[in-house]
Amino acid sequence: MHLLVLNGPNLNLLGTREPAIYGHETLADVEAACMATAAKLGVSITFAQSNHEGALVDALHEARGKSAGVVLNAGAYTHTSVALRDAIGATSLPVIELHLSNTHARESFRHVSLIAPVCVGVIQGFGTAGYPLALQALHGHLSR
């Protein structure tokens, strides 16, 4: 089983961008935790990040036929991107929406997710620990 872990805008700045909200761990730390979790689950993963909406759409399209599912931290595109929502729907892949912070405890514009209705679930508010949780949830969903 192969899974894609896809990260959106500004996540390349983890560890330095607003650490009071997003923590001190870097994206490299997150990738290492994901690789360790994938090894425990017996799955392979591809880890990718882009600040560009179209590149995220392309990554979702390319996952068709390669990945069994996707963990997606779309960052701010969660609240604005109809293109990502449509790409998730078009791939028919199970997607877990992931956020480091609890978006409902933040500004009101972050309370609405355009992608949640086309995802199998949402994990948020657990910081970088959410990534292993999301991988476990996706693996469990696919193993049923």
Domains of the chain by range and CATH? 2-143 (3.40.50.9100)
- pLDDT reported for residue 27: 96
Report CA torsion sign: 32, 38, 40, 42: negative
Catalytic positions are: 22, 99
Tell me the CB-side half-sphere exposure of residue 111, using CA atoms within 13 A: 6
Instruction: Report yes or no: 72 and 118 within 8 Å, Cβ to Cβ.
Output: no
- pLDDT reported for residue 109: 77
Is the pLDDT score of 52 beyond 90? yes
Euclidean distance between the first and the last CA atom of the chain, given in angstroms as a whole number: 13
13-34 per-position pLDDT tens digit = 999 988 888 889 999 999 999 9
Residue whose structure tokens are 């994938």? 38
- pLDDT reported for residue 21: 82
Q: Which tokens go with 46?
A: 């591809």
Average pLDDT value for the chain: 95
57-106 per-position pLDDT tens digit = 999 999 999 999 999 999 999 999 999 999 999 999 999 999 998 888 78
User: How would DSSP label each residue in the chain?
Assistant: -EEEEEE-TTGGGTTTS-HHHH-S--HHHHHHHHHHHHHHHT-EEEEEE-S-HHHHHHHHHHHTTT-SEEEEE-GGGGGT-HHHHHHHHHHT--EEEEESS-GGGS-GGGS--SSGGGSSEEEESSGGGHHHHHHHHHHHHHH-
